[in-house]
Each structure stands twice: as C-alpha cells, then as structure tokens.
Amino acid sequence: MEVKIIPAGIYDANCYILFDEKTKEAAVIDPGGDTDLILDEIKLLDANVKMILLTHGHADHTGGVVELRDKFKCSVYINEKDSEMINKNIPIYGKENENGDKYISDGDILKFGEITIKCLETPGHTPGGMCFLTDKAVFTGDTLFYRSVGRTDFEGGDYDTLINSINTKLMNLPEELYVFTGHGPRTSIGFEKKCNPFLK
C-alpha cells in the first residue's frame, strides 16, 4: 500500500490517499479542502477511488467531500454520532452536503483492492471519532498527534473520553505501527507510548 499525504484546507488537515498499486484502487481519508491538489495526486496515481473515509465530522476534514463524491460516485463513511452533529448544524462541523452516506462503528471492516481497513471507534475529540487501521499503519485523525492529543473544548468533545480511547484502542497496537495524524507529522505507537506527555 502506498500512502500519499496532502495537507489541505485552511488548517492544513492531512488528507491521505491510500493506494493499492496492484489493483490501482484507492481510498481517500479526510479530504478537508483544496480538492484540486487531491485530484491532481489521484490523477498522477491513475487511481480509481472506491471510498472516502472520515475520521470525524469537523469541517476542516470534510470540505472536499462534495467534489470528490461527485467525481468518483463513491460512498462516504462516517460514524453515526458525528453524522448527527453535522445534521444539527453545530458550528465547526461540516455542512450537511459533506456528510457521509454510510455509517461505520467499532470493529467494522472495509476493503478496497487488496487492502483491508479495520475501523476503531475513538470518541473524545468528537462523539463519533474514528481511527482506521491497516497492517502497517493507523490513521488517527484528530485523536492522537505527534507528542499531543486532540482538542476537547469544541462541542461534543470530552478529555477523559479521549484519553480512554487512546489508551484502550491505540496504545495496545504494535509499537512499530506508523501513526498518520490529522495534522502535523507522522509518528509511531511506540514513540507516543514513551514520549507523549498526555499519556503519562
């Protein structure tokens, strides 16, 4: 699996293109905006986008959904709790037309090409936060960052819930697993176990 990273939108949220070189099928995680840049990368890969995955419903992670969904006629996956936040027009969440059309929850398995993704429910930053696990990496959205964790002061956030999610769903993963975050640099499970001051 090849991973392309495009910092997108006004807050440089990391959009990820997961690409199966053998079948040329792809998934896009958190298209937050700058869809022209995302589409250029997809074109360079000659990729067939099969799905869009949202780690959560905040607008800086959903801003490119409409254009990509229209272009590739694919489903958009989101946790139902964050879908409800979008539908309530709560500030900082995305617009209704950026919402998902398929719900995902803890333990769900998604497949494209020869790639398998396990869905991990990690509430705290938002009520329906999700992480996406592959055999070599986990995509954590705004749940876990390099030496930090997601904010919990927005509506729907809860700090204790976030820390519990990280400790029970992420810190028991293999230490060598790459962590691709919603903003900022890549890290690893092992590094965060040792160096993240919020997890001491």
What's the mean pLDDT when you consider all of the chain? 97
- CA distance linking residue 159 with residue 88, whole number of Å: 22
Predicted local distance difference test score (pLDDT) of residue 67: 97
The fold for domain 2-199 equals Metallo-beta-lactamase; Chain A (3.60.15)
Which tens digit of pLDDT belongs to each residue from 65-99? 999 999 999 999 999 999 999 999 999 999 999 99
Q: Please give the average per-residue pLDDT across 127-134, as a whole number.
A: 98
Query: Does the pTM of the predicted model rise above 0.85?
Result: yes
Give the three-class secondary structure for 158.
Answer: coil
Domain ranges of the chain: 2-199
Residues whose CB is less than 8 angstroms from the CB of residue 175 and which lie 6 or more positions away in sequence, other chains included: 188, 189, 190, 193
Q: Cα–Cα distance between 74 and 114 in angstroms, integer?
A: 18
27 φ, ψ (degrees, to nearest 5): -125, 145
Q: What one-letter code names the amino acid at 191? A: F
Kindly list the distances between the CA atom of residue 24 and the CA atoms of 46, 65, 74, 77, 182, in Å, as whole numbers in the listed order.
7, 21, 15, 20, 24
Tell whether the model's pLDDT for residue 10 goes beyond 90.
no
